Every structure is written in C-alpha cells, then in structure tokens.
Amino acid sequence: MSEGAVIVVSILLAFGIDALWAQRQLRIEEQEALVSLQVDFTTNLRKINEVIDKLVVSQKQFATLVRLSPEEIRALPPITVSEIMKAAADPWTFDPVLGTTDALVGAGKLGVIRETKLRESLITFLNLLSDSIEDSSDMRFFAREVWLAEVKHGGPWSDPLTEIGHSGQVPGIDFIHQATPEDLLNVRGDVQFIGLSSRFQIAVGYYVSELERIRDQIELILNLIDEST
C-alpha cells in the first residue's frame, strides 16, 4: 500500500510540476507579447499623431487659398505658394504597425493575454482600422481627381522644400517647375478644381475624425499594457 501511495503521489506531483511549468511558460509568453505590443503601439501613437498633424495643417493651408485676396496671394513667398498648392490634395495616410497584433490573432494566441479588456481593445483597434479604410479611399480618390485637374493649368508643380517623404526629400523631380502666385490664382478661379479640392478636404475631415478615434484606442491599449506589466 505504501508503494502504491508513493506511485500515486509521484504521478500527481509530476502533473503538478507540468502544470506549473506550463503556466510559467504562458506567463513568459504573455510578458514577451506585452513588451512587443508596447513597442508597436508606442510607434503607432507617434505615427498617427504625425499624420493627423499633417492633414490638419494641410486643411488650414488650403483654406488660405480660398480666403486671401488676389493682392495677398501675389505677395506670398515662394515656399508658401508651394505649400498651399500641395495642400490642395495631399493625402497622408496612417500605416499602422500590426506585427504583434496580427501574429497573436492569426495564431489564435490572443488568449495568452490574461487581461480581458486589453484583448477586447486590440480587437476594437483592428475594427476601427477597418472602418477608416473607406474614408482614406475617398481621400485618395479625390486627390487623384485634383491632380488631374491641375494639368489644365500647367501642373503638376513641385518644390524641393515641400516634396518630403518618410525618408527625406523626394529625389529625381527637380525638373518639375514650382507653382507661382499666378498659378494659385488660376486654380482658384477654376470652379471644378476648387470643388474637387473642397471635396478632398471634406474626405480629409472624415478621415481625421476616424484617426482620432483610433488614437484614443491606441492610448487606451498603452494604458492597459502598463497596468498588465
């Protein structure tokens, strides 16, 4: 009987050790996921703020074209002329970092995160991104229409000081001429151009509203990650 009891205890102890080891591995996996999520969403917060700021500034610059008098437009410095012309259709979009979130969802491992609210917030974040696709598509569509309308007035125009991409100044387009105050006056007098660009600005407004909702969700996720680590 004593030998049988030893065997039973040994088996139970082995199961207990396995369960503890499995729990330990899950907690290690969870901590690794939380660290990766924190890196991803810290980057996402920085990127989305940059995009929102650029789009809001662009809207204000286009409003300048509508409000200024012809005399004020003719007195604008070259860089301001270039900024206003570019603002007529400058569709910056938010490209999120989704590596860790996609990996957890795709592998069915979202459950490794114990905090229910954090899991739900990650799913909500993905849903909000999906909702924003329509607005970003509208914005890009009307931007293309504005660019086509520019051709009728001698465009497109370019300026090394405003043609800045994510990695710096865009190369190879120095031969494209810069817009002048007279070019601004010409496009402002084109009802179709102003209408298309105004429709683009409306799409920007809706897109910025969606991005602000996404930003709130990113901030919530970062706070929940801080509470879980």
Q: CB atoms < 10 A from the CB of 4, how many? A: 8
Quick one: pLDDT at residue 174? 78
Residue 14: pLDDT band (50, 70, 90) is low
Long-range contacts of 46-50, Cβ-Cβ distance < 8 Å, separation of 24 or more: 47/94, 47/95, 47/96, 47/97, 48/94, 48/96, 48/211, 48/214, 48/215, 48/218, 49/215
Question: What residues does 169 pair with on adjacent strands?
Answer: 164
With 50 as the cut, is the pLDDT of residue 100 above it?
Answer: yes
Residues 125, 128, 133: CA angle, nearest 5 degrees: 130
Helix (H, G, I), strand (E, B) or coil at 169: strand
Quick one: pLDDT at residue 165? 67
Query: Are 129 and 96 contacting, i.e. CB atoms less than 8 angstroms apart?
Result: yes
Write down the domain spans for the chain: 2-228
Residue 31: pLDDT band (50, 70, 90) is confident
Q: What is the mean pLDDT of residues 142-163?
A: 91
Number of H helices and E strands in the chain, helices first, is: 7, 2
Helix (H, G, I), strand (E, B) or coil at 1: coil
Please report where in the chains the tokens 């437009």 appear, as a residue. 73
With 90 as the cut, is the pLDDT of residue 12 above it?
Answer: no
Query: Are 179 and 81 contacting, i.e. CB atoms less than 8 angstroms apart?
Result: yes
* β-pair type (168-169, 164-165): antiparallel
With 90 as the cut, is the pLDDT of residue 109 above it?
Answer: no
**What percent of the chain has pLDDT above 90?**
66
182-227 pLDDT tens trace? 999 999 999 999 999 999 999 999 999 999 999 999 999 999 999 8
- Give the span between the Cα atoms of 197 and 205, in whole angstroms: 12
Quick one: pLDDT at residue 22? 52
C-alpha 59: how far from chain center:
17
- Give the span between the Cα atoms of 169 and 159, in whole angstroms: 10
Residue 1: pLDDT band (50, 70, 90) is low
With 90 as the cut, is the pLDDT of residue 141 above it?
Answer: yes
Quick one: pLDDT at residue 21? 45
- Residue length of the chain: 229
The two tokens of residue 101 are 């979130």
54: amino acid identity, one letter: K
